[in-house]
Structure 1
Amino acid sequence: MCFREAVPVSPSPLDRERAHLASSRAALRAMREDVQALDISDVTANWVNAAVLERQIDERIKALADLAHTPLFFGRLDYLHAPGAEQAEGAEFEEGGAATSSQGRRRETGGSFYIGRRHVHDADGDPMVIDWRAPVSQPFYRASKKAPMDVALRRRFGYTGGELTAYEDEHLTDPDEVEQTSKLLQQEIERPRVGPMRDIVATIQPEQDEIVRSGLAGSVCVQGGPGTGKTAVGLHRVAYLLYAHRERLARTGTLVIGPNRSFLHYIEQVLPALGELEVGQATVDDLVAGRAQVRGVDDPGAALVKGDARMAEVLRRALRSHIAMPSEGVVVVRGSRRWRIASYELEEIVRELMARDMRYGAAREALPQRIAHAVLVRMERAGEAPDDRVQDAVARNAAVKAVVKAVWPAVDPAKLVLRLLSDAQFLAEHAAGLLSEDEQKAVLWAKPARSVKSAKWSAADAVLIDEAADLIERTPSLGHVVLDEAQDLSPMQYRAVGRRATTGSVTVLGDIAQGTTPWSTPSWDVALAHLGKADAVVEELTAGFRVPTDVITYASRLLPHIAPGLTPVASVRENPGAFEVREAPGGVAEVVAGVVAACREALENEGSVGLIAADARCAALGEALERAGLAFLAPGEETTTGARLTLVPASLAKGLEYDYVVLDEPAAVVDGEPDERTGLRRLYVALTRAVSGLVVVHGAGLPAALVDAA
């Protein structure tokens, strides 16, 4: 018998990467277990501090969850030299109050860094995965053959589920290697969409990364056509800002504002997947919901006027009209002495406060102190030595309070708006030179409400009340606000958002071509002025990553009619996508049958399917789907069930995406809007929701804008 010594077989690069993934997952579990094992029984002074600390620990445990189907890291960078001090700081992480350095790991790996969604370190504190937001990770998104940024190798990883199955290398400093489009990157971009929106952290492009990493102090407006990733860029910018300015934003807060609840459901998992759990989400209606109980709906004419920025001046005038000049002086009795302030002196105080253009409530609070100060001056001239306590006592004197009540009375913002909308004479007085008679008639209620509680407030009325409330008392400001689908806001809605970021910054996201409200903004300069951020930098994204080439080319036929100044989106996808226009001659029944058949065909493919139709046609289509045995959802339900077909009213399609879209009767989508331009914009939105394929089914003729450009 012959014995041979076994020759060790060195593991393949893929095996080594899988081993690092396994080790990183084990390290993440250890990090989570360390937090779970914390004993806070002896470190808090009272139950309040204990509750706060316990909540913070619970949030930390959630943030350290290992999501089985979410890759822990998606790339690797091999530096030619050890990164400099500035980058090294980005590879440090504050954990439990102690900063842990990446120096040890850098020496061991010779400058290799694994880039992932979150930071992971081993038992010694050395990082095994670097957060994608750290400066040391930036070359993963921006390095190229022309500008390698001291990176010798960029490695991308491919996953199936949570398993690492492939890798792809780019040798950025090798002159013999030709720069090529990453296959793994292309596959990730074109991967089918199922369920809610996912993060794009592995596929962020250089022009997107510049926006994501722009500073907190400046506001940014991103104009982006369908599929350019503007929403994802905005969400990743929030994640980056929370990483770079966590302590400041923890104090001031962050908020993502979307167009409707369905949209917010669609995007709600992106930030938690990046480890950010504390970002609020709301619609504009949510922002002002506490101002009034919305039970009514405006007709388009009334909504257009109420949303106009001129209403802000009407409200300011109406509020200021409550200020009355004093007709007589005030006498303050202090012990045996009487101190008199003449009416002309009171008038000077009132006019001086009015000239400062203070908020109504702040000026009202200042008025008694100003009167009291005038009394103290007289006391001092008489040889007395009053202090601040005396001034406060005089400000609370009954005679002074009576003057304040008569001269600068308290005003309820809802009652102010109620009077404007109910009293034609009051409205005419304060809208003179601002609103025409027809515009005034448009906003006046046909049946005036008797009280604030009985009024059938509309969404636009709630915004007016919010404006009035801010004129009286300053609205608290957040640190950063992301405003998505911003092109559809009215000027008054922009103002409502803007006053919640007066001392903070904003990221505005939208597409002028997708503006479908009567008040949609004509330009970003106009919108940003209403928002109070006229100095915001406007960036334009034109590379399309979501919509297939054939689909975006077809939809772009509408651009000359809806937004002639915009650059058409250029799809960077290699797969041109499936695209077909089907005519269903006959009547309504034939069209419906064609739509059902197209949905059935689409469901044979992998991924989500969206049936988009004019709102008025959705009920009939839903009945047809039920008869055909095709289960379907409503927008926003994709996060709670595994069904793949969603019936989407055209009015709710904005911001959503589906692997395959079946579009019912384009002419009906256009006709469902008050004018042709708005209808064509709605159609443009509907046409551009597809990720892999689009089937257009029609019985009536196609809109001329689509046919003429053929």
Structure 2
Amino acid sequence: MSQSASPLDRERAHLSSSRAALRAMREDAEALDIRDVTANWVNAEVLQRQIEERIKALADLSHTPLFFGRLDYLHAPGAEQAEGAEGEQFYIGRRHVHDAEGDPMVIDWRAPVSQPFYRASKKDPMDVALRRRFGYTGGELTAYEDENLTDPAEAERTSQLLQQEIERPRVGPMRDIVATIQPEQDEIVRSGLAGSVCVQGGPGTGKTAVGLHRVAYLLYAHRERLARTGTLVIGPNKSFLHYIEQVLPALGELEVKQATVDDLVAGPVEVRGADEAPAALIKGDARMAEVLRRALRSHITLPGEGVVVVRGSRRWRVASYELEEIVRELMGRDMRYGAAREALPQRIAHAVLVQMERAGEAPDDRVQNAVARNTAVKAAVKEIWPPIDPAKLVMRLLSDADFLAEHADGLLDEQEQKTVLWAKPARSVKTVKWSAADAVLIDEAADLVERTHSLGHVVLDEAQDLSPMQYRAVGRRASTGSVTVLGDLAQGTTPWATQSWAEALGHLGKPDAVVEELTAGFRVPTDVITYASRLLPHIAPGLAPVASVRENPGVFEVRGVSEDLDVVAACREALEHEGSIGLIAADARCAVLGELLTEAGMVFLAPGEETTAEARLTLVPASLAKGLEYDYVVLDEPAAVVSGEPDERTGLRRLYVALTRAVSGLVVVHATALPGELAPV
């Protein structure tokens, strides 16, 4: 392109060239012929799958900008800046793109050379002369904005394109924030794999996005290791996971698994029942881990007699005192119940082999294994260290008052034991209506028997709502890896909600995790977060309120109404705006409001269903609002949201969550009096 072309035209030309280069990279991957390069069909299958994943990762998403920024470096770098060169420009995007010669046209946002795009400032330009941001409309490059980091005459200012991108209407699932990551967020995103991080962040601070981008960064920096050990994102419910599921694929990461805590512990039993809050609270208490450990180990019986092993014409006897020494030694070691049980026959067999050697024989490992499988040895092991079904162990604890009392002594008082005991003793594991809390107990018992498989990295979102036993269940999945914990103590809405991150991290098995706090709000408008923050002194007095950095104060109104049809009218008004609309209401009112919306001919979705141009209104029960966001929110009857919870503090926390789901505007409608904490000042 001629030098007379405008800068915008030149940038558009680079975008076209980059898209062409990406298509060529994809075509090269599609054209790979592996017929003559693999030794067998297994290798061929593995290689073919890797190629298919590579092809998927190279997809050009037409409405997703291929690059969103540019860095112009000042100088040729030293050894520590090996990727730069004097006068060279780097286009920063979601994935790496190179031309036919292998020269980069777009640099992955996770590469070291891209870091100054997020961190450079006038105080510390990081050898960057100019940072350029690009604006897009429907995938087309329509604007750019320059920041001269080394020009003293240019004042520090807020990027207008950055503000526009932050405030852009949200239709559809959650999108990545790769173009708008802030310095304090970038520090968390790029922190190392070895350490665990806990992010305390109020509404709109981007903690969920930070956690997801951290996964993407770690997969870039430690791909081979995490490919072996695995990664997992844990969310509070299916609706939330559906909402965030497109973020990582948009960043080129297709293999990260997502699950809820209930998914993690599912398998041995089917959850068909539910606990009352007092029972769930005790079952979720960390003391239950020790109750289970005691109950499990109570099945170990010290031998009352020795073992006689017959081999050919010889009889070998292991005396009872020798057996007792072996059993006590195994009991004293920090071993899983199942691992110790597997070791016991080998220890007995070893004692027999010692006698054989003293008698002049020369037994080898095959003889030891044969002795370990001897009928008498197997019978002794079954008597001393019987096999345990974790579900049956939990069933007995919760249905046998004497068994529970024996092993909860000094841990649970009499009333607590009565609270968790089932009203009717269970006859069979299959007939029990297991609760979610029961499934967590079974998972704990299963880990006491056999070690749970550990992953390389786990992201735990909305962590403030987990019980100590749920934390332990998650921690088992990262016992040899690291975690990123995301949450907000002010949004805890379960009876067992976390009161401090130090306590939670202890249950998780990561007491040394670094706690970071995000207080800059990028999602919630100033007027909305200011109103919601009135609740903080009552629900989380130690937390600093979120300070919105958005220039647009947003739409905010508290509207007294006389009937439910006025709520429908407020939704109709909200639909006049661009973007997604959420009608959030107490769970008990959703059915009535749904009928009214239907009668009014208004199409609405359930949480987790993807919004479209034709269906932009979602009816959201307050219990499912956490983690979701909408451009405009109509919040129905705050007092009903509060009264729908078992206690006032939990209700106010639920209300705080509901108030902070709006990105551009919030209308609070009420026919009954507002909670006193929200009364006009």
Map 1:168-247 → 2, pairs under 5 A:
168-247=145-224
C-alpha offsets along residues 560-609 of structure 1, whole Å, 9 cap, x if unaligned? Answer: 00000001000000000100000114xxxx1x112111100000010000
Alpha-carbon distance in structure 1 between the residues aligned to 2:533 and 2:160: 27
C-alpha offsets along residues 355-374 of structure 1, whole Å, 9 cap, x if unaligned? Answer: 00310000000001111111
Alpha-carbon distance in structure 2 between the residues aligned to 1:234 and 1:576: 27
Map 1:176-575 → 2, pairs under 5 A:
176-575=153-552
Q: Match of 2:573?
A: 601
Q: Match of 1:24?
A: 18
C-alpha offsets along residues 339-368 of structure 1, whole Å, 9 cap, x if unaligned? Answer: 111101100110010100310000000001
Aligned residue pairs, count: 680
Matched, 1:67 2:61: yes
Q: Match of 2:5?
A: 11
Secondary structure in 1 matching 2:610: helix
Alpha-carbon distance in structure 2 between the residues aligned to 1:697 and 1:176: 49
Q: Output the amino acid matched with 1:454.
A: T
Is the 1:266–1:639 contact (alpha carbons within 8 Å) kept by the matching residues of 2?
no
Matched, 1:647 2:619: yes
- Indicate which of 610, 627, 633 corresponds to 2:599: 627
Q: Output the amino acid matched with 1:187.
A: Q
Q: Match of 2:36?
A: 42
C-alpha offsets along residues 177-213 of structure 1, whole Å, 9 cap, x if unaligned? Answer: 1111101001111111111000000000000000000
Is the 1:514–1:685 contact (alpha carbons within 8 Å) kept by the matching residues of 2?
yes
Q: Output the amino acid matched with 1:297.
A: A
Q: Output the amino acid matched with 2:462.
A: E
Q: Output the amino acid matched with 1:229.
A: G
Report the CA distance between 1:508 and its aligned residue. Answer: 0.1
Report the CA distance between 1:84 and its aligned residue. Answer: 3.9
Q: Match of 2:651?
A: 679
Alpha-carbon distance in structure 2 between the residues aligned to 1:29 and 1:214: 33
Identity of aligned residues (%): 86
Alpha-carbon distance in structure 1 between the residues aligned to 2:79 and 2:581: 49
**Larger displacement relative to structure 2 (330-339 or 305-314):** 330-339
Secondary structure in 2 matching 1:290: coil
Secondary structure in 2 matching 1:506: strand
CA RMSD of aligned residues (A): 1.2
Is the 2:632–2:662 contact (alpha carbons within 8 Å) kept by the matching residues of 1?
yes
C-alpha offsets along residues 139-167 of structure 1, whole Å, 9 cap, x if unaligned? Answer: 00000000000001100011111111111
C-alpha offsets along residues 215-260 of structure 1, whole Å, 9 cap, x if unaligned? Answer: 0000000000000000000000000000000000000000000000
**Larger displacement relative to structure 2 (545-554 or 187-196):** 187-196
**Larger displacement relative to structure 2 (395-404 or 27-36):** 395-404
Report the CA distance between 1:630 and its aligned residue. Answer: 1.0
C-alpha offsets along residues 396-438 of structure 1, whole Å, 9 cap, x if unaligned? Answer: 1111111100000000001101111111111111111111111
Q: Match of 1:94?
A: none
Alpha-carbon distance in structure 2 between the residues aligned to 1:384 and 1:172: 83
C-alpha offsets along residues 261-308 of structure 1, whole Å, 9 cap, x if unaligned? Answer: 000000000000000000000000000111210111111111111111
Alpha-carbon distance in structure 1 between the residues aligned to 2:558 and 2:139: 38
C-alpha offsets along residues 304-344 of structure 1, whole Å, 9 cap, x if unaligned? Answer: 11111111111000000000000001111222222111101
Secondary structure in 2 matching 1:138: helix
Is the 1:86–1:135 contact (alpha carbons within 8 Å) kept by the matching residues of 2?
no
Q: Output the amino acid matched with 2:566.
A: G
Q: Match of 2:630?
A: 658
Secondary structure in 2 matching 1:223: strand
Alpha-carbon distance in structure 2 between the residues aligned to 1:210 and 1:239: 14
Q: Match of 1:160?
A: 137
Query: Are the structure 2 counterparts of residues 641 and 393 from structure 1 closer, same or farther at C-alpha, using a change threshold of 3 Å?
Result: farther
Is the 2:401–2:421 contact (alpha carbons within 8 Å) kept by the matching residues of 1?
yes
Alpha-carbon distance in structure 2 between the residues aligned to 1:280 and 1:55: 17
Alpha-carbon distance in structure 2 between the residues aligned to 1:639 and 1:176: 46
Map 1:67-216 → 2, pairs under 5 A:
67-88=61-82, 110-216=87-193
Report the CA distance between 1:444 and its aligned residue. Answer: 1.1
C-alpha offsets along residues 542-575 of structure 1, whole Å, 9 cap, x if unaligned? Answer: 0000000000000000000000000100000000
Query: Are the structure 2 counterparts of residues 639 and 452 from structure 1 closer, same or farther at C-alpha, using a change threshold of 3 Å?
Result: farther
Alpha-carbon distance in structure 2 between the residues aligned to 1:60 and 1:322: 52
Q: Match of 2:668?
A: 696
Alpha-carbon distance in structure 2 between the residues aligned to 1:455 and 1:161: 54
Alpha-carbon distance in structure 2 between the residues aligned to 1:652 and 1:309: 26
Alpha-carbon distance in structure 2 between the residues aligned to 1:370 and 1:222: 47
Q: Output the amino acid matched with 2:159.
A: S
Secondary structure in 2 matching 1:291: coil
Is the 2:171–2:612 contact (alpha carbons within 8 Å) kept by the matching residues of 1?
no
Report the CA distance between 1:30 and its aligned residue. Answer: 0.1
Q: Output the amino acid matched with 2:104.
A: P
Secondary structure in 2 matching 1:35: helix
Alpha-carbon distance in structure 2 between the residues aligned to 1:118 and 1:318: 53
Q: Output the amino acid matched with 1:310.
A: R
C-alpha offsets along residues 597-645 of structure 1, whole Å, 9 cap, x if unaligned? Answer: 1100000010000000000000000011111111100001126885100
Alpha-carbon distance in structure 2 between the residues aligned to 1:389 and 1:642: 72
TM-score, normalised with respect to structure 2: 0.99
Secondary structure in 1 matching 2:11: helix
Alpha-carbon distance in structure 2 between the residues aligned to 1:627 and 1:336: 90
Is the 1:79–1:152 contact (alpha carbons within 8 Å) kept by the matching residues of 2?
yes
TM-score, normalised with respect to structure 1: 0.95
Q: Output the amino acid matched with 2:122.
A: K
Report the CA distance between 1:445 and its aligned residue. Answer: 1.1
Secondary structure in 2 matching 1:58: helix
Secondary structure in 2 matching 1:637: coil
**Larger displacement relative to structure 2 (10-19 or 21-30):** 10-19
C-alpha offsets along residues 117-142 of structure 1, whole Å, 9 cap, x if unaligned? Answer: 00000000011000000000000000
Report the CA distance between 1:705 and its aligned residue. Answer: 1.1
Q: Match of 1:97?
A: none
C-alpha offsets along residues 423-478 of structure 1, whole Å, 9 cap, x if unaligned? Answer: 11111111111111111111111122211111111111111100000000000000
Secondary structure in 2 matching 1:575: coil
Alpha-carbon distance in structure 1 between the residues aligned to 2:80 and 2:228: 26
**Larger displacement relative to structure 2 (38-47 or 13-22):** 38-47
Secondary structure in 2 matching 1:539: strand
Q: Output the amino acid matched with 1:529.
A: G
Q: Output the amino acid matched with 1:347.
A: E
Report the CA distance between 1:495 and its aligned residue. Answer: 0.4
Secondary structure in 2 matching 1:256: strand
Alpha-carbon distance in structure 2 between the residues aligned to 1:83 and 1:116: 21
Is the 2:171–2:611 contact (alpha carbons within 8 Å) kept by the matching residues of 1?
no
Alpha-carbon distance in structure 2 between the residues aligned to 1:47 and 1:448: 54
Is the 2:605–2:611 contact (alpha carbons within 8 Å) kept by the matching residues of 1?
no
Alpha-carbon distance in structure 1 between the residues aligned to 2:78 and 2:136: 31
